[in-house]
């Protein structure tokens, strides 16, 4: 069975009222207040069915299902269904008798929720029709849509930041610190430091108040004599005149 032969029901409302309406006096639209709302011409059930792209509004007897009138809706909003200007519960629909004759009647719902469902059912159907039409066009012309351009524009660049990158094999190692040279351009060692030639040489004690600059002094080897006073017991050039008491004469 083709889709155009299948008829589906999209809305059913158990109570609707039909009114005879006066001809439209101007382009300002229909007003339900001009109808005799307390004297409906007919009351019954409303069903909306869909076959293909066309929706059908059917007014039926609520007990027997006998068809009272039918409206073919090919576009919404459109001439087939029109809202009134002074209420959300009343509409004007165009009915057909099957012989090409048309008439405009007013329909109204006692409940606002039923009127809302009637309106939404028609909106949803023709929204679906629009989507189906667009799908059919795309299937016939698949290359007419915009293409996504992923190429670089002139002068455009990108920047990539990759954290924790490993060193490439063969990359030069980081420069190691060069050893300090003992040339004349270096600063002298701090007081108390020993040069490599002095590591095993005993150092004399410094006199109080006269700090020694070990970087500028040359040290003599200590005397091998075990005499505490050393050569101070003898005066140079006068050895025969000095007493033998062991004291130095000044």
DSSP letters, 67-131, are EEEEEEESSSSSSSEEE-SS-SSEEEEEEE-SSS-EEEEEEE-SSHHHHHHHHHHHHHHHHHHHH
CATH of the domain at 134: 2.30.29.30
The rounded distance, in Å, linking the Cα atoms of 37 and 50 is: 29
* pLDDT band at residue 209 under the 50/70/90 scheme: very low
Confidence of residue 190 (pLDDT cuts 50, 70, 90): low
Confidence check: pLDDT of 80 > 90: yes
pLDDT score, position 197:
53
Exposure on the CB side of residue 210, measured as CA atoms within 13 A? 4
The answer to whether residue 202 sits within a structural domain is no
> Closest Cα to residue 51, out of 16, 19, 87, 10?
10
Of the candidates 84, 81, 110, 88, the residue with the CA atom closest to the CA atom of residue 32: 84
Lowest average pLDDT, out of 10-19, 46-55, 90-99, goes to: 90-99
Q: What is the pLDDT of residue 214?
A: 46
Domain count for the chain: 1
Q: Is the pLDDT of residue 95 over 70?
A: yes
* Mean pLDDT, rounded, for 5-29: 89
DSSP at 197:
G
Decide if pLDDT at 67 tops 90: yes
Tell me the Cα Rg of the chain: 59
- Whether residue 150 lies inside any domain: the answer is no
> Is residue 199 over pLDDT 60?
no
Average the pLDDT over each of 19-28, 44-53, 73-82, 139-148 and give the range with the smallest value. Answer: 139-148
pLDDT above 80: residue 4: no
pLDDT surpassing 60 at residue 213: no
Task: Establish if 23 belongs to a structural domain.
Answer: yes
Of 146 and 122, the structure prediction assigns the larger pLDDT to: 122
Please indicate, yes or no, if residue 43 is contained in any of the structural domains: yes
Indicate the average pLDDT of the chain: 75
pLDDT bucket at 15, cuts 50 / 70 / 90: very high
pLDDT at 159: 76
Range of the domain at 121: 3-139
11 has a pLDDT exceeding 90: yes
The predicted pLDDT at position 157 comes to 78
Domain presence at residue 79: yes
Q: Residue 249 falls within a domain, yes or no?
A: no
Q: Does 220 fall in a domain?
A: no
Calculate mean pLDDT across residues 60-75.
94
Residue 21 belongs to a domain: yes
């Amino acid at each position: 069975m083709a889709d155009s032969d299948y008829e589906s029901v999209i809305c059913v409302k158990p109570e609707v009222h039909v009114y005879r309406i006066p001809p439209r006096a101007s382009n300002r639209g229909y007003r339900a207040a001009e109808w005799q709302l307390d004297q409906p011409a007919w009351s019954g059930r409303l069903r909306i069915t869909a076959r293909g792209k066309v929706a059908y509004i059917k007014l039926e007897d609520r007990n027997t299902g006998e068809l009272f009138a039918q409206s073919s809706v090919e576009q919404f909003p459109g001439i087939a269904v029109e809202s009134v200007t002074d209420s959300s519960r009343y509409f004007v629909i165009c009915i057909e008798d099957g012989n090409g004759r048309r008439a405009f009647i007013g329909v109204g719902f006692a409940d606002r929720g039923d009127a809302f469902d009637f309106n939404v059912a028609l909106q949803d159907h023709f929204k679906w029709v629009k989507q189906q039409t667009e799908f059919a066009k795309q299937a016939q012309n698949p290359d007419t849509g915009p293409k996504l351009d992923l190429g670089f524009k002139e002068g455009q660049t990108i920047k990539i930041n990759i954290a924790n990158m490993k060193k490439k094999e063969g990359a030069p190692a980081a420069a190691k610190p060069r050893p300090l040279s003992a040339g004349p351009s270096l600063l002298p060692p701090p007081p108390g430091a020993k040069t490599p030639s002095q590591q095993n040489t005993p150092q004399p004690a410094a006199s109080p108040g006269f700090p020694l600059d070990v970087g500028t002094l040359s040290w003599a080897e200590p005397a091998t004599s075990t005499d505490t006073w050393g050569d101070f017991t003898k005066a140079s050039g006068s050895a025969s005149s000095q007493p033998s008491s062991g004291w130095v004469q000044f």
